[in-house]
Each structure stands twice: as C-alpha cells, then as structure tokens.
Amino acid sequence: MTYLTPRLALVGDRSPAVRSHARVPGLLDALATRDQLALDAYWIPTGDAGAAGALDGFDAVWLLPGSPYRSEAGALAAVRTARERGIPFLGTCAGFQHAVVEYARNVCGIDGAAHGESHPDEDDLVIVPLSCSLVGHEGAVRIAPGTLAERVLGETRTLERYHCQYGLNPAYLERLRAPGLRFSGTDEAGEPRILELPEHPFFLASLFQPELAGDGTRAHPFVRALAAAAAEHASAAARA
C-alpha cells in the first residue's frame, strides 16, 4: 500500500506579526524529524474556509490564533466541518473561543451565540473579556483525570503560555456541558482552559497557545497528538 502523508489544514489569516504563526513551520519540521510524524500542511485563510469543499481531503484541522478573524463565518465553518465529519481538530486561543461559539449555535441551539470581541452588543455573548488579560501570561492548568487531555499530556497539571483577552462566559457553562462538551482543563480558579468532545475521534481546544511552548524545536503534546490523529485518519481513509 502506498503511504500517504496526512494533510493538515492550518486555518487562519497567516501573518508574520502573529507569533504563533511564525512558530508553525518549525513545529512541522520538529514533528517530521523528531517524531516521525510528517504532515502535508496547507494554510487556508478564514475567508476561504467556509467555501464548499474547502476542507475536503484533509486529515486534520488546526484553527490557529489571530482573532478577530477576517471571516468569522469561515472560522466557524471549519469548526463545524471538523466536528460533524469526525476530522481531527485542534483549536488554540481564538480556535478555542470559536469552537465554543460554533457548539453553542449548532448543538446547544443558542442561535445568537456570539464572540464579545467581534459582536460586543449581542445578547448571547458566550465569549467575553477575561477578568484579567492573559496576554503574555504563563499559568498552571489542572487536567481532569480520564480525559483526552490527560491521555495526551500524561499528567494532571501543566504550565502553559497564553496570549489572549477573551474566554468562556461562565453563565453558559452548564448549557454547553449538557449536550456533551467537556471542559477538561481549568486554571487554578476553576475557569475553563481546555475543551474536548468525548464522542469525537479527536476534538481538542485550548485557550492557551501550545505552539508557544518551549523553544520551538519540539512540538507540544497537543500538536503531536493532532499529528498522530491525522495519520490515523489518513490510514483509515486509505483502508476504506
């Protein structure tokens, strides 16, 4: 059987001014050389991500930071496509935030669910300004036992880097949990920092930015796990 390199969609509005974007090429190199997890990666601007068939043939989707996106609709479409088709998904920072918005709208039935950065005057703001900005912040995250996050990290506490000012509105926490969304990582105050979908093959998002971990010469466990999930997805597709 011919080996097919898994295809990764990097959804975001690529910019040299976004530090996490600048880290991606090095992380992809590290995955290939250190972890033997080579990926065929393509950047897809949010303006293109919502087009019909934009994510066809991809084995994983990574919704990267860079909020506000040029196309919120495109970012949300990427989340929905990955969620509904069972495509491995990783959302980081704004990717976490928009995963919440997409789930609130399309699973929880909160039609007006909105992001406070883009739509501050809407009624159903599921993403709101944090009580304390996390731009340039590093903090501990507690991981719930028995979750995907714990399996990936191999521990129940980790120290992570942030660059964000928006997070989950706690008023919507239980409505989001009810259909199955799990918040598997919190900060020391109990505020959500990681989410996952247990029934999905691989659906993980973090408010912190794992791409900023270390010196960029080794991929964070979340990124390595996405690459491994992409390889499994490609393998399953080849067997089908």
* Residue type (1 letter), 44: I
pLDDT of residue 34: 95
Q: Judging by DSSP bridges, how do beta strands 125-129 and 7-11 pair with one another?
A: unpaired
pLDDT of residue 227: 98
- 67-114 residue pLDDT tens: 899 999 999 999 999 999 999 999 999 999 999 999 999 999 999 999
Mean pLDDT of the chain: 95
Tell me the percentage of the chain whose pLDDT exceeds 90: 91
- 210-226 residue pLDDT tens: 999 988 889 999 999 99
pLDDT of residue 216: 82
- Averaged pLDDT, 140-147: 97
**Residue 203 DSSP one-character state:** E
Q: Which residue has the tokens 């789930």?
A: 103
pLDDT of residue 136: 86
Cis peptide before 68 (omega within 30 of 0): yes
pLDDT of residue 170: 96
pLDDT of residue 217: 87
pLDDT of residue 1: 36
- Coil, helix or strand at residue 228: helix
Bigger pLDDT: 110 or 17?
A: 110
Rounded CA separation 139/156 (Å): 14
